[in-house]
């Protein structure tokens, strides 16, 4: 049985919504069940925004969970918020470019991705969400990077079409970084 | 048609459009505003009526007017907005005109908050306004079901000339899931025979929300009750999971969780987790809250060892479950209020408690404590021995 749950969290404007939606689209297009739910409370108006994605090959019950099994933290407040919550054996993928201290838990896997720096090197700092998503795909194997690239082609808004190739590059760069880090670990 | 990833609010709006809604009147309120926003774009594109009223009171009366003219019409709101519509809803019920209402519930009472809740079960299921009547209430648990039930709401509203409500909460309104949308239906070509359309060349129609003589008003009430009874006979819907009623089956659920909407789908995760631990538990998820699946629950109560009702409120559907079970088995309750969503591990813990409590046949007459979740709860409870059974 396939069952993944992942929380994307970051500042508004960091691409939390689009990055997580892209994963949801790719899951749907791969024929899987998926739920995507944003936080829509007052915290989205200044502070961290987060989205929870559940992917399964069975009917999905709870679309929210107390202890997520994976968290993609795009900023430092998200690391602080989610590090204590991740289920034992889970994954914390964090944007090392913006993180002030290393996570401390030893019962989860913590993978630093220099996402903002990498996106800046690619010439578009805003693509840090794609770098992180690429890394998530590489580490979890939930879906192939190519599947998400196809969803990107289908769902990138018309006024951003000129950024399609750069988005794909950022995804692949994230996957490569995660692979290198995994080999080093 | 390929599946699309849609938010509950937007999917309901598109489903209503495809079901042939001719006019939408509403007023924005979180967490249902995307529904109104979607309508504001799509309805004018299709040459249909969209109007953002000055208030919910105005919106429901516009709905009432359009319905009297025989038009397929709807509105949507969230809890405080639905409270404002109560008078209009009662007038609509008295007038026997079909309307569809979508209520995306949020935390109450008062202005409350914008977080998901199920605390308006009583308000919608029991009356929705003053006087003796009940609307049809449909409670989806997935975005696909929200789409399907929206189409059904229009069908039932017109078949019975009644109010049909789609009752959901902020989770379903805001959540995206893959949906398959139905084909676009043709708009009605001629208004129903009772509609107020101008009486040229025919006898005058009358659609009024009053009967001044007691005899006449009682006749109206009897007609409403006849309709409610007919709906109860014909339109009960529910979905069950892991309840195997085959006699002699070893998989048969001994414990039944009853939950609707978002609480229902969260409970499904808990029920599956409890099954993994060897507890014979199943889930009954009412889809029609009105008419309530009381006969089915009564039937399940013949053999079940106990029931657990889970709601995002202080225990409202609980009363209907208790009436249906009729004292045949203990009924426990677990609820969260204030916009909190119950978590699967909390419900799983409650299932374990129910299992423990009903593990001994002599305990059957002991009613479980009807308590809300305590503020402090130990993260894990020790595995309970169940050697007293099997």
Q: Is the model more confident about A44 or about B244?
A: B244
The answer on pLDDT for B367 being more than 80 is no
State the pLDDT at residue B245. 73
Mean pLDDT score across all residues of chain A: 92
Q: What is the CATH number of the domain that holds A57?
A: 3.40.920.10
Q: Which of A34, A42, A61 sits opposite B269 (nearest CB)?
A: A61
> What does the pLDDT read at residue B252?
84
Instruction: Determine phi and psi for A124, rounding to 5 degrees.
Output: -135, 90
- Mean pLDDT lowest for which of A43-47, B28-32, B302-306, B335-339? A43-47
* Predicted pLDDT of residue B2: 86
Interface test with A, best of B116, B175, B276 (most A CBs within 10 A): B175
| Contacting residues of B for A37, CB less than 8 Å apart | 171, 174-176
As for the ipTM of the complex, it is: 0.94
The confidence score (pLDDT) of residue A41 equals 62
Domain that holds residue A27: 3-184
Cβ pair A113, A131 in contact under 8 A: yes
pLDDT tens digits, one per residue of B2-24: 899 999 999 999 999 999 999 99
pLDDT given for residue A181 in this prediction: 80
Instruction: Provide the pLDDT for residue B40.
Output: 98
| pLDDT tens digits, one per residue of A10-21 | 988 899 999 999
Other beta carbons within 10 angstroms of residue B208's beta carbon come to: 11
Give the integer Cα–Cα distance in Å for B7 and B13: 10
Name the closest residue on chain B to residue A154, using Cα atoms.
B4
**pLDDT reported for residue B68:** 98
Question: In angstroms, rounded to a whole number, what is the distance separating the alpha carbons of residues A113 and A136?
Answer: 10
Domains of chain B, earliest start first: 4-196+206-234 (3.40.50.970), 238-365 (3.40.50.920)
Distance CA B304, CA B291 (A): 22
The pLDDT score that the predictor gives to residue A12 is: 83
Instruction: Tell me which of A108-122, B241-255, B325-339 is least confident.
Output: B241-255
A151-178 pLDDT, tens digit each? 999 999 899 899 999 999 999 999 999 9
What is the pLDDT at residue B386? Answer: 44
- Give contacts of A25 with chain B, Cβ < 8 Å: 5
**What's the mean pLDDT in A100-112?**
94
For chains A and B, CB pairs below 8 A equal 64
- Does a cis peptide bond (omega within 30 degrees of 0) precede residue B179? no
CA distance linking residue A22 with residue A20, whole number of Å? 5
Give the pLDDT score at B57. Answer: 98
- Per-residue confidence at B249, pLDDT binned at 50, 70, 90? confident
According to DSSP, the β-strands at B163-169 and B136-138 are parallel
With a CB cutoff of 8 Å and minimum separation 6, the contacts of A48 are A9, A10, A11, A75, A77, A78, A81
- B351-366 confidence digits (pLDDT tens): 999 999 988 554 444 4
Tell me which residues of chain B have a C-beta less than 8 Å from any C-beta of chain A. 3, 5, 30-31, 113-115, 170-171, 174-178, 265-270, 272, 341, 343-345
| Contact residues on chain A for B268, CB-CB shorter than 8 A | 59, 61-62
C-alpha distance from A25 to closest chain B C-alpha (Å): 7
- Interface subset of A 120-149, CB within 8 angstroms of B: none
Task: Look at chain A and report how many structural domains it folds into.
Answer: 1
Q: What are phi and psi of B257, to 5 degrees?
A: -95, 135
**Residue among A35, A64, A66 whose CB faces B177 most closely:** A35
Chain B residues inside the 8 Å CB shell of A66: 343, 345
Mean per-residue pLDDT for B58-81? 98
CB A53 within 8 A of CB A63: no
- Strand blocks (E) in B93-216: 99-105, 136-138, 163-169, 176-179
SS3 B120: coil
Q: Residue A147 — very low, low, confident or very high, per pLDDT cuts 50/70/90? A: very high
Identify the pLDDT of residue A185.
53
pLDDT at B359: 83
Instruction: Measure the CA–CA gap between B307 and B255, rounded to whole angstroms.
Output: 6
Query: Is the per-residue pLDDT at A45 higher than 60?
Result: no
* Nearest CA distance, B28 vs chain A (angstrom): 15
| Cβ-nearest to B176 among A24, A61, A66 | A24
Pseudo-torsion of CA B30, B34, B37, B38, nearest 10°?
Answer: -160
What whole-number distance in Å separates Cα of residue B301 and Cα of residue B306?
8
B215: pLDDT strictly greater than 90: yes
**Residue A184's pLDDT band (cuts 50, 70, 90):** low
pLDDT tens-digit series, residues B216-234: 999 999 999 999 999 999 9
Q: Which residues on A lie below 8 Å from B113 (Cβ)? A: 41
Picking from A154-158, B169-173, B209-213, B304-308, which range would have the lowest pLDDT averaged per residue? A154-158
The total number of residues shown for chain A amounts to: 185
DSSP B126: I
Residue in chain B lying closest to A55 (CA):
B177
């Amino acid at each position: 049985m396939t069952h993944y749950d992942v929380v994307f969290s970051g500042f508004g404007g960091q691409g939390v919504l689009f990055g997580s939606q892209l994963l949801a689209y790719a899951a749907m297009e791969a024929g899987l069940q998926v739920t995507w739910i944003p936080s829509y409370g007052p915290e989205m108006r200044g502070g961290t925004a987060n989205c929870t994605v559940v992917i399964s090959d069975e009917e999905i019950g709870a679309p929210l969970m107390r202890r997520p099994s994976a968290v993609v933290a795009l900023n430092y407040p998200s690391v602080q918020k989610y590090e204590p919550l991740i289920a034992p054996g889970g994954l914390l993928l964090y944007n090392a470019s913006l993180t002030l201290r290393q996570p401390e838990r030893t019962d989860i896997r913590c993978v630093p991705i220099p996402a903002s720096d990498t996106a800046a090197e690619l010439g578009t700092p805003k693509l840090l969400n794609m770098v992180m998503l690429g890394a998530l795909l590489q580490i979890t194997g939930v879906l192939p990077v190519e599947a998400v690239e196809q969803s990107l082609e289908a769902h990138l808004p018309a006024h951003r079409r000129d950024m399609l190739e750069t988005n794909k590059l950022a995804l692949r760069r994230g996957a490569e970084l995660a692979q290198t880090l995994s080999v080093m670990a | 048609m390929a599946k699309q990833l849609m938010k509950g609010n937007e999917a309901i709006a598109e489903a209503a459009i495809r079901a042939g809604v001719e006019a939408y009147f509403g007023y924005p309120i979180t967490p249902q505003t995307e529904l109104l926003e979607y309508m504001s774009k799509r309805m004018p594109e299709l040459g249909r009526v969209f109007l953002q009223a000055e208030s919910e009171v105005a919106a429901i009366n516009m709905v009432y007017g359009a319905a009297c003219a025989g038009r397929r019409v709807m509105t949507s709101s969230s809890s405080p907005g639905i409270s404002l519509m109560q008078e209009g809803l009662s007038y609509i019920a008295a007038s026997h005109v079909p309307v569809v209402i979508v209520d995306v519930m949020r935390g109450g009472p008062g202005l409350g908050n914008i977080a998901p809740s199920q605390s308006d079960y009583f308000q919608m299921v029991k009356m929705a306004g003053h006087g003796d009547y009940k609307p049809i209430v449909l409670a989806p648990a997935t975005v696909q079901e929200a789409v399907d039930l929206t189409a059904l709401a229009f069908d039932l509203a017109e078949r019975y000339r009644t109010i049909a409500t789609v009752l959901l909460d902020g989770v379903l309104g805001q959540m995206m899931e893959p949906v398959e949308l139905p084909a676009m239906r043709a708009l009605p070509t001629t208004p129903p025979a009772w509609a107020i359309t101008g009486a040229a060349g025919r006898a005058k129609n009358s659609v009024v929300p009053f009967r001044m003589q007691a005899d006449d008003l009682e006749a109206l009430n009897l007609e409403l009750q006849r309709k409610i009874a007919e709906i109860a006979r014909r339109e009960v819907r529910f979905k069950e999971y892991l309840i195997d009623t085959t006699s002699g089956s070893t998989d048969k659920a001994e414990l039944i969780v009853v939950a609707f909407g978002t609480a229902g789908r969260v409970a499904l995760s808990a029920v599956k987790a409890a099954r993994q631990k060897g507890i014979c538990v199943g889930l009954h998820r009412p889809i029609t809250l009105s008419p309530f699946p009381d006969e089915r629950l009564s039937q399940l109560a013949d053999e079940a060892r106990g029931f657990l009702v889970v709601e995002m409120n202080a225990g409202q559907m609980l009363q209907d479950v208790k009436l249906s079970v009729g004292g045949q088995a203990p009924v426990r309750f677990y609820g969260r209020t204030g916009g909190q969503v119950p978590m699967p591990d909390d419900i799983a813990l409650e299932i374990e408690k129910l299992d423990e409590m009903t593990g001994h046949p002599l305990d059957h007459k002991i009613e479980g404590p009807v308590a809300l979740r305590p503020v402090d709860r130990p993260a894990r409870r020790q595995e309970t021995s169940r050697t007293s059974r099997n």
